[in-house]
């Protein structure tokens, strides 16, 4: 393998790098950096249960939701995680496999996907504005978090789980109040990836039931909050029925 790898299991995808063999059953776990602390154990438990069930995590190692999901990845699934970093040394490493993508062709294809689908309304302004290289990198990694490093239909995440203050789940529902997770939600929506927002009561209850069902027969190394604990952080917005 010609891609660099250090002791933290971090892959540097440079020009002509061999893309590592990636896991086929992935989910995206992201969300606001302001995700309430009560969600820490909930998100970690979701990652743990899904990991035991064979799902690999895709995330971005930002504070808040990203970190909450990553700490829950069971040990046997850490080498199958896909944690995409916007810059070298970003965030707090957990032992999960991470990627720094430096190959210009791969990055340009991801940026084109954002532009083509109008994922970011001010994309052309952002990519041509001096001093915003980190913002561009942070938004671009959302493409990999949803579509995988090869950016093909067969590598799509099976679903996306997040928390945002507004409870957005579709392209049309996202606003400036959704925060940076708006990019991931919009990408998921246009790609046909189901979105579960833990600020939506129904979604939180569904995943909470999954955890409780798992706990009947398996231990979980996290103290899972009750739905009552989470209730204050559910959105009050009315969602359109499909």
Residue whose structure tokens are 């909470």 = 208
Q: In what order do the strands lie in the sheet with 195-197?
A: 4-5, 10-13, 98-101, 82-84, 56-59, 26-29, 160-162, 195-197
Q: Are 226 and 29 in contact (CB under 8 A)?
A: no
Q: Does domain 9-224 have CATH number 1.20.1280?
A: no
- Percent of the chain at pLDDT exceeding 70: 91
Residues making up the chain, counted from first to last: 242
- Report residue 16: phi and psi, to 5°: 70, 15
Crossing angle of helices 104-116 and 181-191, in 10° steps, is 80
CA–CA dist 32, 166 (Å, integer): 10
Query: Would you call 57 helix, strand, or coil by DSSP?
Result: strand
Phi first, then psi, for residue 128 (nearest 5°) are -105, 5
Percent of the chain residues past pLDDT 90, beyond the cut: 62
For the whole model, what pTM was predicted? 0.90
Q: Around 213, how many Cα atoms within 13 Å sit in the side-chain half-sphere?
A: 9
Under the banding of pLDDT at 50, 70 and 90, the label for residue 132 is low
- pLDDT surpassing 70 at residue 125: no
Instruction: Quote the tokens at residue 218.
Output: 């398996």
Q: Could you report the per-residue pLDDT of 185-215, keeping only the tens digit for each?
A: 999 999 999 999 999 999 999 999 999 999 9
pLDDT band at 130 (very low <50, low <70, confident <90, very high): low
């Amino acid at each position: 393998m010609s891609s660099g790898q250090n002791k933290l299991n971090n892959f540097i995808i440079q020009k002509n790098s061999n893309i590592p063999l990636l896991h086929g059953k992935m989910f995206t776990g992201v969300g606001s950096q302001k995700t309430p602390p009560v969600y820490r154990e909930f998100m970690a438990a979701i990652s743990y249960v899904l990991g035991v069930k064979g799902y690999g995590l895709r995330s971005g190692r930002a504070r808040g939701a990203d970190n909450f999901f990553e700490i829950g990845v069971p040990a046997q699934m850490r080498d199958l995680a896909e944690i995409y970093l916007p810059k070298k040394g970003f965030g707090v490493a957990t032992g999960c496999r991470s990627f720094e993508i430096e190959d210009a062709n791969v990055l340009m294809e991801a940026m084109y996907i954002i532009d083509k689908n109008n994922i970011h309304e001010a994309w052309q302004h952002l990519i041509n504005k001096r001093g915003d290289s980190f913002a561009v990198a942070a938004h671009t990694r959302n493409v990999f978090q949803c579509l995988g490093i090869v950016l093909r239909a067969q590598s799509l995440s099976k679903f996306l789980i997040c928390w945002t203050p507004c409870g957005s789940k579709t392209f049309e529902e996202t606003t400036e109040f959704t925060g940076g997770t708006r990019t991931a939600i919009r990408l998921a929506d246009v790609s046909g990836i189901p979105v579960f927002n833990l600020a939506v009561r129904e979604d939180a209850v569904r995943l909470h039931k999954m955890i409780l069902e798992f706990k009947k027969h398996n231990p979980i190394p996290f103290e899972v909050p009750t739905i009552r604990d989470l209730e204050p952080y559910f959105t009050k917005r009315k969602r359109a029925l499909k």
